[in-house]
Amino acid sequence: MIPEPESISDLLDRLSAIVPDYPAEGISFKDLTPVFADPAGLRRIVDEVIAPFAGQFDVIAGLEARGFVMAAAAAYATGTGMITIRKAGKLPRPVHRDEYTLEYGTGTLELHRDDVAPGTRVLILDDVLATGGTVGSAARLLEKVGAKVVGVGVVLELAGLGGREKLAGLKVHSLQLV
């Protein structure tokens, strides 16, 4: 008998590492690096995160740092380009800057002013959606340069933190609600 293919939820349960009290007490950190390190795992999460957006984007925005892994693989697989939305001070040319709050602190994201042409259709990818602060900030940066955010793809969506509600108006696709 041919075995049933493993569901994406079973794959994520098997490979994700949950780290209690990291990086601060009370935070349950979802470490997806073992999923990235698994050849079948990386391919599955990238393919399944982008599936609902097929044909709808010109470029993929990755959020530093784990979003870069997803976005680069997805851009390569779909023959699109990738842009990097980075933490403050990392990009060498003139940037737009946006401040935001996240589950365990505050942060600043930046985007090169000329990395995306106005009207470009952009898909945002990251590993985990928690409060939605990071993705919301990325979306504001992309709007500043006149891009159109067609959607948001994440592997894990943390329940009860209001991320999806905060991003109302954006199509959000997650592979597992935890």
Catalytic residues: 66, 103
Residue of the chain from 72, 102, 150, 178 that contacts ligand AMP (CB under 6 A)? 102
Site string for ligand AMP, 120-159 (x = CB under 6 A): ------xxxxxxxxx-----------------------x-
CB 85, CB 149: distance < 8 Å: no
Count the site residues for ligand AMP by CB under 6 A.
Answer: 19
Long-range CB pairs of 70-73 (<8 Å, 24+ gap) are 70/45, 70/46, 70/125, 70/126, 70/127, 70/153, 70/155, 71/125, 73/42, 73/46
| CB 173 to ligand AMP: min, Å | 15
Residue of the chain from 53, 57, 83, 103 that contacts ligand AMP (CB under 6 A)? 103
CB 120, CB 151: distance < 8 Å: no
| CB 136 to ligand AMP: min, Å | 7
DSSP class of residue 90 equals: -
| CB 113 to ligand AMP: min, Å | 23
Residue of the chain from 46, 57, 163, 175 that contacts ligand AMP (CB under 6 A)? 163
CB 178, CB 32: distance < 8 Å: no
Listing DSSP states for 26-81 in one string gives T-EEEE-HHHHHSHHHHHHHHHHHHGGGTTS-SEEEEETTHHHHHHHHHHHHHT-E
**Nearest CB to ligand AMP, comparing residues 55 and 169:** 169
**Nearest CB to ligand AMP, comparing residues 108 and 146:** 108
DSSP, collapsed to helix, strand or coil, labels residue 134 as helix
User: Is residue 66 close enough to count as binding ligand AMP by CB under 6 A?
Assistant: yes
Name which of 70, 83, 73 is nearest 109 in CA terms: 83
User: Is residue 30 close enough to count as binding ligand AMP by CB under 6 A?
Assistant: yes
**Nearest CB to ligand AMP, comparing residues 114 and 135:** 135
Binding site for ligand AMP (CB under 6 A): 27-30, 63, 66, 102-103, 126-134, 158, 163
